[in-house]
Amino acid sequence: MANGVTLESLRQSLIRQEDTIIFSLIERARFPSNSPTYNESYVSTPTFSGSLVHSVVKETEALQAKAGRYENPEEHPFFPDNLPPSVVPPYNFTEVLHPPAALININKDIWDMYFKKLLQLFAARGDDGNYASTVASDLVCLQALSRRIHYGKLVAEVKFRESPAEYEPAIRAKDRDALMKLLTFESVEEAVKKRVAKKAMVFGQEVTLNNDDKKEKYKVDPSVVSRLYGDWIMPLTKLVQVEYLLRRLD
């Protein structure tokens, strides 16, 4: 395919991004749940409206937008409305995607999944007052998840270019189920779930110099990481692929 992007090279990138995601969860797990971070009435001044997480993410994104973060088609803001323009000279990112892809942003679903389901599965209950560091860690997790899930656009483009005749009838019929079937590889998904659990064991183990002192306690539960991928990351990546393919002939 053009630009040297292949399904294999994209899968390699997804594998590399597993490391980033798992390390980001390990970093967030250093802090307990720290619920005031997410409480809408915890801070209330004219400059900080809503929860601390809401304000800090929104303001950080505004700063990163000025620094050009969202000029890269692989990046998607959580608060896309009224972002300031980039002030950096434009970089010529290779155009691989069909232009309507730019409209797809499922960060709202990623936000809800992260705060309503995932966080409580790996952050211990408690409050240590480190709310600003907690938000900073949350944002690193969210951005890593968002980048990975929206990679579905590239994966879908490559799959389409490899066999347009297979995809076109389902796209024209707007048949989401047929598209979902075409783009699903069960064996790849099983391998992903096993590999991320193994990585969570390797990256999250206690490293000591004393070999016989090996406690099976991990910084993030490997079964949570496997579930994160099986229940949320891969289904959302597939949702992005379906959304992308539905617009592929526009």
Ligand X SMILES: O=C(O)C(=O)C[C@]1(C(=O)O)C=C[C@@H](O)C=C1
CA distance 66 to 81: 14
Can residue 183 be called a binding residue for ligand X (CB under 6 A)? Answer: yes
User: Phi and psi at residue 180, in whole multiples of 5°?
Assistant: -60, -40
Q: Which of 132, 185, 194, 208 binds ligand X (CB under 6 A)?
A: 185
Q: Where are the alpha helices (DSSP H) in the chain?
A: 7-28, 52-66, 107-112, 119-122, 131-150, 152-162, 164-172, 176-183, 186-203, 222-227, 234-246
Among 186, 184, 160, smallest CA distance to 171 is for: 160
Site residue total, ligand X (CB under 6 A): 12
Decide: is 192 part of the binding site for ligand X (CB under 6 A): yes
The CA-based diameter of the chain, rounded to the nearest angstrom, is 62
**Contacting range for ligand X; rule: CB under 6 A; set: 97-105, 135-143, 196-204, 232-240:** 232-240
Binding to ligand X by CB under 6 A, coded x per residue (else -) over 3-32, reads --------x--x------------------
Instruction: Provide the minimum distance between the beta carbon of 10 and ligand X in the complex, in angstroms, as a whole number.
Output: 7
Residue number, 52 or 113, with CB nearest to ligand X: 113
The least distance separating ligand X from the CB of residue 212, rounded to whole angstroms, comes to 37
The number of C-alpha atoms within 13 Å of 60 and in the hemisphere containing its C-beta is: 17
List Cα–Cα distances, 65 to 72, 77, 101, 222, in angstroms: 10, 9, 19, 34
Closest C-alpha to 54, from 36, 66, 69: 36
Our finding on whether 234 is near ligand X (CB under 6 A) is yes
Check residue 184 for interaction with ligand X (CB under 6 A): yes
* Binds ligand X by CB under 6 A, chosen from 124, 132, 188, 249: 188
Closest by CA to 217, choosing from 36, 24, 29, is: 29
Q: By CB under 6 A, which span of 41-49, 123-131, 168-176, 186-194 interacts with ligand X?
A: 186-194
Q: Does 189 bind ligand X (CB under 6 A)?
A: yes
Q: CB nearest ligand X: which residue?
A: 237
Mark the segment that binds ligand X (CB under 6 A) among 51-59, 90-98, 179-187, 214-222.
Answer: 179-187
Shortest reach from residue 64's CB to ligand X, in Å: 25
Provide the binding-site residues for ligand X, judged by CB under 6 A: 11, 14, 155, 183-185, 188-189, 192, 234, 237-238
